[in-house]
Structures are given as C-alpha cells and as structure tokens.
Amino acid sequence: MTPAKAKRYNVAGAVITIFTVICAVLWAFPLYWGIINSLKPEDEVIRPYIELWPDTFTLDHYIFALTRTQIGTWYINSIATALGVTVLTVSTSMLCGYAISQLSFPLRRPLWWLILASFMVPTQVLIINHFVLMADMGLLNSWAGIILPQLIHPVVIIVYKQFFDQVPKEFREAAVMDNAGEFRILFKVYLPINWGVTTALSIVTFIWAWNAFLWPFLAVTKTEMMTITVGITQVWDAFGVYYARQLSAAVLAGLPVALAYLVFQRRVTQAITLSAGIKG
C-alpha cells in the first residue's frame, strides 16, 4: 500500500470514527438527561434553561418511588409475565422449529410459509382481536391476559429451524437407530448443540417482554396488576406532575434490563445478529 493510499484510509477511518462517536453521543444523551434530572430537586428540573449538571443532588425522588408507590408489586408483575412469555415462547418455538425442520407431516410447507408471511402483519393490527378475545375469556387484569397475546414471535421459530437444519443428519440417524423418540432426540441431541442459541433467544425475549407497554397498558386497569412499564405512568401527585419523580421511576423500570444487557451482552448481541440475519 502506497503512503498516499494509506493516508486516504486513515482519513476515512477518522471520519467514520468521528461520525460514530457523534451518533453514540446523540443516542446516549437522552439517557444521561433522564438520569441527571431524576437526581435534581423539582425546582431545578422545571427551570426554563438547560443545565447539564445539577446544582444539588438528591435521592428524594427515588425514595418516593420506592416507598410511596406500588413499584415492588409492579416489579413482581413484570418478572412473572416476562418469565412466562420467555419460557412459553422459547419452548413452543423450539418444538415448532424442530417439527418443521426434522419431521414430515401434512401441510408442513404451507405452515412454514404462513410463519414467514406473519412478518408482514404488524402486532398492532391484532390488538383489537386480542382485547376482545381476552375480555370474552375473562382474562383482563390477570397475568394470563398479559402473557398469552405476547407469545407470537415468528423470528424465534425461524432461528430455531435454521439451526436445526444445520445439524448433521448423521446425529439423527444414529439416535433413531438407538430407538430414541422425537422428544429424546430433541432434548438429548439437538438442544445441547444449540444451547447457546436458546440462551441468547431467551435473554432477548425476556428483555422484549419486560419493555412491552402497549398491550399491558390495554389489558390492565387495576393498579396492583400493572407491570413496571405501565405502573410508572401512575407516579404522580395530587398537586400536579412531578417530572423528577416520573424520571426516577423510569430509571428504576429500565435498570433490571440494563443490568441484564451488561451481564449477557455477548448473548444479546448474538441473538440480535441472528434475528437481523433472518429478517434481512
């Protein structure tokens, strides 16, 4: 490589780096702004000018959110519903992906086409149907009513099928020769090979279920049954809106998934890459 070409590469790299840093700052600034304002007294938050650093730090708003609201109950509801969505979604998607990949049965190909076509249907289109169905079944204001309509994740099925297709057929043939049933083949042969994929998909599904707002907001009207994302909208005062209190509740709501992402960053990145590859 000639010095002139190397110089051009260095300039291009510097431009890309600067652009990336600017994008990162623009993305992170709302998070920084929310956290900083949650640590300010309310009179500083409502000032008509921007302050990037508070004059006085206070934890009063976090204490209010933890002691004067039902945030503990909201956390329990979110954990229960997110775990329910994760376990049911991953388990059923694994079984469906294995069946489509390895078994022969009537209408197998149309079923696969139907799963692929479901990408073109936004989940918001199904909200009314879900609401009417849950209301007719008497499941509104319940964990089941929150969980069941959130179990539709075609991408999880597609990722599983893709990986099951890549498993060498000799493994299955050897298990069949040992008179192993389909469930034994799945859990003793295929699942251990794809355990990393299952872990990654479980983490991302849990984070998605934890952050869900629209359906839990519509399905729940009782304060004690709200999830954390819906419950933080109830952090208000009889004398008006306190922005710092709402921001502190929002920070507390996002803290568990932020910690989960930091701990399982590699697995989350793997699952996002898999999902993006399928959708692309």
Domain ranges of the chain: 3-60, 61-279
| DSSP secondary structure code for residue 188 in this structure | I
Residues 39/59, Cβ–Cβ less than 8 Å: yes
User: Alpha carbon of 4 to those of 8, 10, 14, 82, 273: distances in Å?
Assistant: 6, 10, 15, 55, 36
> What is the predicted pLDDT for the residue at 55?
82
Give Rg (Cα) of the chain.
24
> What is the predicted pLDDT for the residue at 267?
66
> What is the predicted pLDDT for the residue at 238?
44
Residues 236/64, Cβ–Cβ less than 8 Å: no
CA separation for the pair 278, 29 (Å, rounded)? 31
Helix, coil or strand: residue 240? strand
At the top level of CATH, the class of 61-279 is mainly alpha
User: Alpha carbon of 115 to those of 84, 93, 96, 167, 249: distances in Å?
Assistant: 22, 11, 10, 21, 38
Residues 214/128, Cβ–Cβ less than 8 Å: no
pLDDT (tens, 9 = 90+) of the chain, 280 residues, equals: 566 555 566 777 778 888 999 998 898 888 888 888 888 888 888 877 777 888 888 888 888 888 888 888 999 999 999 999 999 999 999 999 889 988 888 888 888 898 888 877 777 888 888 999 999 999 999 999 999 998 888 888 888 888 888 888 888 888 888 887 888 888 888 888 877 788 888 888 998 899 899 899 999 988 889 999 898 887 665 445 677 888 888 888 888 888 877 777 776 666 556 544 444 4
Helix, coil or strand: residue 237? strand
